[in-house]
Amino acid sequence: MSDEANLLYLLAALLFGYLLGSIPFGLIFTRMAGLGDVRKIGSGNIGATNVLRTGRKGLAAATLLADALKGTAAVLIAAQWGPQFATMAALGAFLGHLFPVWLGFKGGKGVATFIGVLIGLKPLAALIFCAIWLAVAFASKYSSLSALVASAASPIVLWLLGEPGMAGIAVVLVALLWWKHGQNISRLLAGTEGKIGQKG
């Protein structure tokens, strides 16, 4: 395959991942349930955490699963053509969730989709992510802090698992995830971030 053709296929994998990742399941599910636009409640986010604010735990769980699986699907389908296409699809899916063209490029924070692409790229890394998330959540009771710590560890985990290329992509994803959690980080530093199970 020529360099030009390879670049074209890589861009196609990126676009494919983006289109799959940009499907706003949280918005779709809440509208199908007759709950209106989830962007008009709570944080205005389309992710599972904000869907949970509708009081519908089932919808929130479905959103979490769908947002993760769209990342997994993008990676696994693109992987049929090689690992470099899988990593490009992973990047595309994550960008699609964060910046969906259908919603004016205003999407979710990316935690579920991050886990989903990890499942597709390296299932063991996804398992370690979840273990770190649970450990930090148990110790701190902060969901956002758990996601930040677990995501930050992911590039290191991928590197240690012998996947430097995936680790490089993960660094980009983590930087974007942390940027999308800017307000959470500010509240954590100020001591005003809500804890898991805390009301109001």
In order, the DSSP letters of 85-150 are HHHHHHHHHHHHHHS-GGGTT-----HHHHHHHHHHH-HHHHHHHHHHHHHHHHHH--HHHHHHHH
Distance between CA atoms of 88 and 25, rounded to whole angstroms?
22
Q: Is the pLDDT of residue 160 over 90?
A: yes
Q: Is the pLDDT of residue 165 over 50?
A: yes
Which two three-digit tokens encode residue 125?
């890394």
Contacts of 97 (CB under 8 A, 6+ apart): 21, 22, 67, 70, 71, 107, 108, 110, 113
Check residue 1 and give its pLDDT. Answer: 62
Contacts of 104 (CB under 8 A, 6+ apart): none
Cα torsion through 137, 70, 72, 83, rounded to 10: -130
pLDDT tens track for 45-95: 888 888 888 888 899 999 999 999 999 999 999 999 999 999 999 999 999
Amino acid 89 reads: A
Check residue 184 and give its pLDDT. Answer: 93
pLDDT tens track for 13-41: 999 999 999 999 999 999 999 888 888 88
H or E stretch covering 8: helix 3-21
**42-46, 79-83, 107-111, 175-179, range with greatest mean pLDDT:** 175-179
H or E stretch covering 175: helix 164-180
Q: Is the pLDDT of residue 200 over 70?
A: no
Confidence of residue 114 (pLDDT cuts 50, 70, 90): very high
Amino acid 130 reads: C
pLDDT tens track for 166-177: 999 999 999 999
